[in-house]
Amino acid sequence: MKIIRDPIHGNIELNEIELKLADAPEMQRLRHISQNGLCNLVYPAMNSTRFEHSLGVMHLAGKVADHLGLDEERQDLKIAGLLHDIGHCAFSHTSDHLLSRFGFNHEENSSRIILNTGISDILNSYSISPEKISDLVTGKGNLSKIISSEIDVDKMDYLLRDSYYAGVAYGIIDLERIIHTLKLAGGEIIVGSGGLEAAESLLIGRNMMHQTIYRHHTKRIVESMFANAVNSLLNDGKITYDSFLGMDDIDLVYTLRNSGGYAGEMMHRIDTRKLFKRVFAEKINKTLRSFRSEISKNKKEIENKISDDAKIPRGFLLMDMQSSEMSEFKVLVEYDNELKRIDEVSELAKALEKAELERLTFCIYADPKYRDNVKNLDIDDYIQYTQTMLKKFY
Amino acid sequence: MKIIRDPIHGNIELNEIELKLADAPEMQRLRHISQNGLCNLVYPAMNSTRFEHSLGVMHLAGKVADHLGLDEERQDLKIAGLLHDIGHCAFSHTSDHLLSRFGFNHEENSSRIILNTGISDILNSYSISPEKISDLVTGKGNLSKIISSEIDVDKMDYLLRDSYYAGVAYGIIDLERIIHTLKLAGGEIIVGSGGLEAAESLLIGRNMMHQTIYRHHTKRIVESMFANAVNSLLNDGKITYDSFLGMDDIDLVYTLRNSGGYAGEMMHRIDTRKLFKRVFAEKINKTLRSFRSEISKNKKEIENKISDDAKIPRGFLLMDMQSSEMSEFKVLVEYDNELKRIDEVSELAKALEKAELERLTFCIYADPKYRDNVKNLDIDDYIQYTQTMLKKFY
Amino acid sequence: MKIIRDPIHGNIELNEIELKLADAPEMQRLRHISQNGLCNLVYPAMNSTRFEHSLGVMHLAGKVADHLGLDEERQDLKIAGLLHDIGHCAFSHTSDHLLSRFGFNHEENSSRIILNTGISDILNSYSISPEKISDLVTGKGNLSKIISSEIDVDKMDYLLRDSYYAGVAYGIIDLERIIHTLKLAGGEIIVGSGGLEAAESLLIGRNMMHQTIYRHHTKRIVESMFANAVNSLLNDGKITYDSFLGMDDIDLVYTLRNSGGYAGEMMHRIDTRKLFKRVFAEKINKTLRSFRSEISKNKKEIENKISDDAKIPRGFLLMDMQSSEMSEFKVLVEYDNELKRIDEVSELAKALEKAELERLTFCIYADPKYRDNVKNLDIDDYIQYTQTMLKKFY
Amino acid sequence: MKIIRDPIHGNIELNEIELKLADAPEMQRLRHISQNGLCNLVYPAMNSTRFEHSLGVMHLAGKVADHLGLDEERQDLKIAGLLHDIGHCAFSHTSDHLLSRFGFNHEENSSRIILNTGISDILNSYSISPEKISDLVTGKGNLSKIISSEIDVDKMDYLLRDSYYAGVAYGIIDLERIIHTLKLAGGEIIVGSGGLEAAESLLIGRNMMHQTIYRHHTKRIVESMFANAVNSLLNDGKITYDSFLGMDDIDLVYTLRNSGGYAGEMMHRIDTRKLFKRVFAEKINKTLRSFRSEISKNKKEIENKISDDAKIPRGFLLMDMQSSEMSEFKVLVEYDNELKRIDEVSELAKALEKAELERLTFCIYADPKYRDNVKNLDIDDYIQYTQTMLKKFY
């Protein structure tokens, strides 16, 4: 039994197999994958990694298993918690949509690693089924909800952890009470009766963290610049898909720094804090929302069109169409002996959901010297442009 | 006035010049210099950087200036606090003794940067003397003691900060009380009467942090491996001194990873946690202590001799002669209307000093497969060898 | 300058006059007035007193004065913060409605003490106007809003303090950020633009505290029993109004314990935790709401009627009609260069306000052995009874 | 399973029997026994009670039982933890030496209550032996060491709890690590090898708490005044021994307030903070130490003699001979495979022990108007007086 000290959960215990897995190169790699991408350009103390988060998720998975009396599944659940982020690429979510260019996501990558690398050898040597772990990590089967769902141990750990490093109180959710309130009902993880307030506190914590941290506009600007830089290297073939999968933050930053051209310039700007600014912002109204997916799919073309119209060199104007998943509002709670979605029974949940939608914005970021170039921009023109463009294709 | 959120001090305010300096490339570089080198291999959440620490030190310098009524010097002191670590090389103290190969230390490097780069331009444009700042940073003049001395704002920040991320309570010193107790007396920063207990708490915090964190044996092993790897690159001329000064952690790790040979192997071992183990340890007794400096100066030769005797390939056995600075025990305190060293008036300080000396150890780290090769090693042989070797030269 | 250590704000500094006031018997009395009445029967660690809270409010008043640049008014504001609760009777709010029997409230009592006791002598001896302090404490003049209003230092202190002792995270509001966001505009304390989120966090903290602590049903039961016991002593003339004003918690509990009869029995039940239970609860719908004030005014008569109908001895069935002040939702915030109520511009505030109203309940508490006696109770009967009774009188 | 929220340990779970015991009048009484006597006159937030502490000790006893694998004894240990302070009289340790006048201590009183009141009925009804619990509480048998010994759960709880309310960091010991390090060896609770540092942190925390809180001179003054007041009531027969045992803080303060005479005056002075001051202090040197027990035994006579000599009315000069138990330094630790006292193997422990002895002081407290009356007092005169007096008797 090895003990690792963690500022969020105190002592985290690892048994032999958990330690072997944590020491495996595929997990050690997560030491160099930042938990929050480039968030530290806004909150300088947010330097945590996917590695420490993975230990925390493992620890919480064990606690939930204990609470639910899942003695037999406990070891599998802990391992799934430990390995759930093993497929994350450099800079975590920042590079997620780059993966999606290849029709791939980080959970599938996790599954690939669990099934096909030294990880599966370790699992097999302890008679643990890699397939079972992969299923738990990729959302197959009811118990996978403990690892990933509307109210999962992943979220509990990162909300607490991120607020600790950011130095804000918002994420401080009542962990013990939430875990105590969880129940298994018909294969779903639900919030038992009497737990509504604890579940609301999770929604509130998440809401405040999104507002002040995850969606901070400077963070979004930096991430847009960074993603566009990586994208250009992928387009130019300077990084291949396979090499990208193997990179950690160090490899990727070094490659960007030394690649010259647009990518090199963007990385240099980030390194020396010569950032783009938000030069245009508009709330996402109904019209915009109905075109969101089309606009997102054709981001590059529309960005180019706006750049050309505004006489801004391509790549120096970036578009950001915010969206929201908000799966948390689907949490099921026991209420008057029925199972209901939390946003059906809680005024607070309903309001948070509405507030979140209303806060979504369409933004344009650019080198500040081009600020004047976009001051007369009319978003409707580009909605129309999108429509025309779509007609051309279909 | 810009506000940056910090988990240790809450809101840190930066005025225009402080912000310009913090945004300068020379300071932004510190975002990629880890505060505690490779300590995160033991405490996975210790991922903080010299950048956030520098903001904290600036903040505390302002508080101490306020307490001491140094209104005129306040701005200089804050800037000195902000810039005090600007000369740190990759991996902070881990690479400090590499600098010393060139007869150089990180404070001189700080001075060089303050006087000869864009930093001096910014300072001059606000009519602040770069020379004055450089003096404060390099220990010249009485007020420099606020930044760097037995009881300085540097120490106050890092003890609090490191214990926060490590998740241990030991560093939680009573900041407000210590600052409240500081006085200027004859140009010295001293602890006013009634402040003995607060000063003792700083010594205790520091002692506990050294024992459990800074001198953790696994941390020392990793750092020995890492330093030896970098050393070999410097010896081979694969990294020049000048390029080394410009590197941050990212550059250095990438270079090591891709340099092949011994350095590449060591870095790969660290990346995949295939670490050396402590195969020999002996308390540093009087004899050893009297030869310490000679042994340290001829580390490489003695290491090689031990390796050869033990039939271990050179570079796969590393020697670690622990030492201790313990400047803290020289803090002056007002006691019965006299100024005394804290270890003259405090039993506790005396005991901590003694305990610290008695804990120092001479260690040998090696690939665990060679464990048996050193089991009969007699340290006296190598003290004699050192003596013989020294006679040869002088 | 004296320093008092406080777990919420760290070091609290008191200058000579503040210390004299804090040491005066009228303030020392607050050491024996509990901050949260009988809340510690639910949260056993909630044992804080009005005295420590008063120090905290003084401290925050100073901080807000500094932030707003109110140098001249700073001393008055701090003193008003220190003295704002000086008129609280035993068990704070629990006895507030007993005061109201005499057409009096605790703020008027504060004013009386500030103007007519040793307190006014101390103030006068330092050339501070007792009238001015009394005005600040009783809501007269714009600056009194700092002490008592929708967003005041009183609330900031007690939300933080109470959550600290209860051991819940809900009250952990972002104090520094809220204070930083406050502005004076046309004599109002408002939340400056950009401060909406900080103000929302205060509303959320308050909401969670109300739900889980201040309105905890066991707390309400105990307070109903206690208030009814004190009431009976006042009715019987065993305590006079004047003696009641002079009592602290110790005097009142001792008197109840030794008074025999109904009051003695209730106190014995509380001391030995033989509490009434909630035997009936109904959400306060529109009809109930429209009769609320009539029912509250005639509480005793209706309670007696219900007791008689249910064949429960009078005094062993207690009625509790919950209400809500919710002044916080009137906080003014700067939004798009206009001043608006927070519940006009924040979806979250709107939802919290609505949720709070919907949660209000009409409850009946009784000795559990009478549980069956009320199981067929129909609240409409008593609304009708109230109407009939009212007609009789008017 | 009932859950009670605690700020120190989070959720504390009570099963049916534990809840019945906690709800019993004998335990509910502890809600009105302050944990730290009159300490809140110095640290105004130190208002915690023996009740919440007892819950904490129960909780920790369960944790230690789990760690040591004492499944069978777990329930008994938890109950002993819950009941260990049940015999405390009003104001806890402040009244301890009053008990000793009757050749009695609070642990014997605990035993009496466990064996002879409703508590024993509850225990018997769950087939738990009151005798066994009484033994665990009064130090009989090896396992009683978990509840009360050099390194017990009592100390762990109160150090953490008291530092939390005082708002100082000193008591923040590494609870998880200490518990993890405990072992049973030959019926002793010892600190396992590798746990030396954790045990040292407990000693340090305790030392700092004693220096700044438990032995704060104002606290000692107030407690001397208070104890002397109670003493005078006991002497006059205004309180009998039996009634004293039944009193909680409320009863005792009310009685003092309304007793008139010396006791009433002292209580009034405490209530209105008109405290005695320290008018004389001398380190306890060897001579004084060798007479300590004689002086303590004849405290009243010597106090009277000093008062008469100094022309101070009896009762307005109080003598305080500080002593120290320091049982913590006898903790056994595993060291190089042997069991040793911690002060044999730890320099730090040795120093703390020495420092503690050197800090002990002989003090005289008096109404400040008599300050000049004692300025020429020579303690040697009273040592001699004690000797003479002793010869008279023996």
Residue D326 contacts B where some CB pair is shorter than 8 Å: no
Q: Helix, strand, or coil here: A11?
A: strand
Q: Could A25 and B271 be called an inter-chain contact, meaning their C-beta atoms sit closer than 8 Å?
A: yes
Do C7 and C142 belong to one domain?
A: yes
**Do A189 and A315 touch, CB atoms closer than 8 A?**
no
- Of C121, C150, C167, the one marking the end of a domain is C167
pLDDT digits (tens, 9 = 90+) for C371-392: 999 988 888 888 888 888 777 6
Q: Mean per-residue pLDDT for D80-88?
A: 96
pLDDT at A1 over 90: no
pLDDT at D346 over 80: yes
Give the pLDDT band (50/70/90) at residue C291.
Answer: confident
Closest chain A residue to C346 measured between Cα atoms?
Answer: A355
Higher-confidence position of B318 and D394: B318
Q: How far apart are CA A375 and CA A367, in angstroms?
A: 13
Q: Could C4 and D272 be called an inter-chain contact, meaning their C-beta atoms sit closer than 8 Å?
A: no
Strand order across the beta sheet in which A182-185 lies: A182-185, A188-191, A332-335, A338-341
Q: What angle do CA B164, B165, B168 make, to 5 degrees?
A: 60
Do C163 and C35 belong to one domain?
A: yes
**Do A277 and A368 touch, CB atoms closer than 8 A?**
yes
Q: Mean per-residue pLDDT for A13-41?
A: 96
Percent of chain A with pLDDT over 70: 98
Give the pLDDT band (50/70/90) at residue D357.
Answer: confident
- Of C125, C150, C167, the one marking the end of a domain is C167
Q: How far apart are CA D341 and CA D328, in angstroms?
A: 10
pLDDT at B285 over 70: yes
Neighbours of chain A (3+ CB pairs under 8 A): B, C, D
**Do B144 and B171 touch, CB atoms closer than 8 A?**
no
Percent of chain B with pLDDT over 90: 60
pLDDT score, position B101: 72
pLDDT score, position B353: 86
pLDDT digits (tens, 9 = 90+) for D219-273: 999 999 999 999 999 999 999 888 898 999 999 999 999 999 999 999 999 999 9
Question: Which tokens belong to A77?
Answer: 């659940």
pLDDT at B171 over 60: no
Is residue B53 in some structural domain?
Answer: yes
The nearest CA of chain A is from the CA of D13 a distance in Å of 11
Give the pairing type, strands C188-191 and C277-283: unpaired
pLDDT at C393 over 80: no
Give the pLDDT band (50/70/90) at residue D5.
Answer: very high
pLDDT score, position A170: 60
Beta bridge partners of B341: B332
Is residue C74 in some structural domain?
Answer: yes
pLDDT score, position D170: 60
Residue A246 contacts B where some CB pair is shorter than 8 Å: no
Q: How far apart are CA B73 and CA B76, in angstroms?
A: 5
- Per mean pLDDT, which of A177-191, A203-217, D21-35 is the most reliable? D21-35
> What's the per-residue H, E or C state across chain C?
CEEEEECCCEEEEECHHHHHHHHCHHHHHHHHCECCCCHHHCCCCCCCEHHHHHHHHHHHHHHHHHHHCCCCCHHHHHHHHHHCCCCCCCCHHHHHHHHHHCCCCHHHHHHHHHHHCHHHHHHHHCCCCHHHHHHHHCCCCCCHHHHCCCCCHHHHHHHHHHHHHHCCCCCCCCHHHHHHHEEEECCEEEECCCCHHHHHHHHHHHHHHHHHHHCCHHHHHHHHHHHHHHHHHHHCCCCCHHHHHHCCHHHHHHHHHCCCHHHHHHHHHHHCCCCCEEEEEEECCHHHHHHHHHHHHCHHHHHHHHHHHHCCCCCCEEEEECCCCCHHHHCEEEECCEEEEHHHHCHHHHHHHHHHHHHCEEEEEECHHHHHHHCCCCHHHHHHHHHHHHHHHC
Neighbours of chain B (3+ CB pairs under 8 A): A, C, D
Do B63 and B194 belong to one domain?
A: no
Q: Mean per-residue pLDDT for D142-164?
A: 92
Q: Determine the straight-line distance between the first and last CA of chain C, rounded to whole angstroms.
A: 61
Question: Which tokens belong to A276?
Answer: 């783009």
Closest chain B residue to A32 measured between Cα atoms?
Answer: B271
**Do D153 and D64 touch, CB atoms closer than 8 A?**
yes
Do B130 and B7 belong to one domain?
A: yes
Q: Which of A110, A168, A102 is nearest to A136 (CA)?
A: A110
pLDDT digits (tens, 9 = 90+) for A232-254: 999 999 998 888 989 999 999 99
Give the pLDDT band (50/70/90) at residue D176.
Answer: confident
Chain D hits for C250, Cβ within 8 Å: 249-250, 253-254, 257
Nearest to D10 among A3, A11, A176 (CB): A176
Containing structural domain, residue C376: 276-323+360-394
pLDDT score, position B392: 67
Cα–chain-centroid distance for residue C110?
Answer: 14
Nearest to D11 among A3, A11, A180 (CB): A180
pLDDT digits (tens, 9 = 90+) for C208-263: 888 889 989 999 999 999 999 999 999 999 998 888 989 999 999 999 999 999 99
Nearest to C180 among B11, B177, B180 (CB): B11
**Do C253 and C306 touch, CB atoms closer than 8 A?**
no
Q: Could D352 and B351 be called an inter-chain contact, meaning their C-beta atoms sit closer than 8 Å?
A: yes
pLDDT score, position D172: 61
Q: How far apart are CA A208 and CA A356, in angstroms?
A: 10
What is the per-residue burial (b if ≥16 Cβ within 10 Å, else e) of B26-60?
Answer: bbbbbbbbbbbbbbbbbbbbbbbbbbbbbbbbbbb
Give the pLDDT band (50/70/90) at residue A279.
Answer: very high
**Do B15 and B62 touch, CB atoms closer than 8 A?**
no
The nearest CA of chain C is from the CA of D27 a distance in Å of 9
Strand order across the beta sheet in which D317-321 lies: D277-283, D361-366, D317-321
Is residue D354 in some structural domain?
Answer: no
The nearest CA of chain A is from the CA of D339 a distance in Å of 24
pLDDT at D16 over 90: yes
pLDDT score, position D382: 87
Cα B83 to Cα B7, B86, B154, D332, distances in angstroms? 20, 5, 11, 48
Is residue D132 in some structural domain?
Answer: yes
The nearest CA of chain D is from the CA of A293 a distance in Å of 45
Amino acid at C299: K
The nearest CA of chain C is from the CA of A352 a distance in Å of 6
159-188 in chain C: CB under 8 A from chain B: 176-177, 180
The nearest CA of chain B is from the CA of A28 a distance in Å of 6
- Of C110, C143, C167, the one marking the end of a domain is C167
Chain C hits for D251, Cβ within 8 Å: 254, 257
Q: What is the CATH number of the domain that holds D158?
A: 1.10.3210.10
Residue B347 contacts D where some CB pair is shorter than 8 Å: yes
Is residue C44 in some structural domain?
Answer: yes
Chain C hits for D272, Cβ within 8 Å: 25, 28
Is residue C77 in some structural domain?
Answer: yes
Q: Mean per-residue pLDDT for D274-303?
A: 87
pLDDT at D288 over 90: no
pLDDT score, position B385: 85
pLDDT score, position C267: 97
Do B380 and B341 belong to one domain?
A: no
- Per mean pLDDT, which of B126-135, C172-181, D195-204 is the most reliable? B126-135
Domain count for chain C: 2
- Per mean pLDDT, which of A307-321, D320-334, D345-359 is the most reliable? A307-321
Q: Could A174 and C169 be called an inter-chain contact, meaning their C-beta atoms sit closer than 8 Å?
A: yes
Q: Mean per-residue pLDDT for B44-52?
A: 97
Q: How far apart are CA C119 and CA C292, in angstroms?
A: 40
Residue D217 contacts A where some CB pair is shorter than 8 Å: no
Q: Could C10 and B176 be called an inter-chain contact, meaning their C-beta atoms sit closer than 8 Å?
A: yes
Is residue C296 in some structural domain?
Answer: yes
Q: Could A45 and B48 be called an inter-chain contact, meaning their C-beta atoms sit closer than 8 Å?
A: yes
pLDDT at C74 over 60: yes
pLDDT score, position C322: 86
Cα dihedral across residues D352, D353, D354, D359: positive or negative: positive
pLDDT at B297 over 90: no
3-32 in chain D: CB under 8 A from chain A: 3, 10-11
pLDDT at A42 over 90: yes
pLDDT digits (tens, 9 = 90+) for C292-346: 888 888 889 899 999 999 999 999 999 998 887 777 788 899 988 889 999 898 8
pLDDT score, position D41: 96
pLDDT digits (tens, 9 = 90+) for B199-243: 888 888 888 888 889 989 999 999 999 999 999 999 999 998 888
pLDDT score, position C93: 79
Neighbours of chain C (3+ CB pairs under 8 A): A, B, D
Chain C hits for D249, Cβ within 8 Å: 250
Prediction pTM value: 0.90
Q: Could B45 and A52 be called an inter-chain contact, meaning their C-beta atoms sit closer than 8 Å?
A: yes
Give the pairing type, strands B338-341 and B332-335: antiparallel
Is residue C250 in some structural domain?
Answer: no
pLDDT digits (tens, 9 = 90+) for C92-104: 877 777 777 777 7
The nearest CA of chain D is from the CA of C240 a distance in Å of 18
Q: What angle do CA C231, C234, C238 make, to 5 degrees?
A: 130
pLDDT at A323 over 90: no
pLDDT score, position D128: 97
Give the pLDDT band (50/70/90) at residue A195.
Answer: confident
Give the pLDDT band (50/70/90) at residue D392.
Answer: low
Nearest to A10 among D3, D11, D176 (CB): D176
pLDDT score, position A124: 97
